[in-house]
Amino acid sequence: MTGGPERAPVRTGPVSAQILGMALCRYVLAFPPLAALTSEEVVEAIGPAVHRHLCLGA
């Protein structure tokens, strides 16, 4: 499956799930290992997955 523009609406689901999951665990549940990460560490941790979703499609 490719990441063409026609697939953009489909790719938003996995990207949203990745970001919202991290936000839930960091800020709502305050899961200690995730809450302690710096912003740079969060980007390093979930950036590759978000990039894959955006570039390769869902």
Domain boundaries along the sequence of the chain: 5-56
Cα–Cα distance for residue pair 14/3, rounded to 1 Å? 13
Cα–Cα distance for residue pair 41/34, rounded to 1 Å? 9
Cα–Cα distance for residue pair 45/58, rounded to 1 Å? 19
Predicted confidence at residue 45, as pLDDT, reads 94
Predicted confidence at residue 3, as pLDDT, reads 61
Q: What is the pLDDT of residues 12-44, one digit of tens each?
A: 899 999 999 999 999 999 999 999 999 999 999
Whether the per-residue pLDDT at 4 is higher than 80: the answer is no
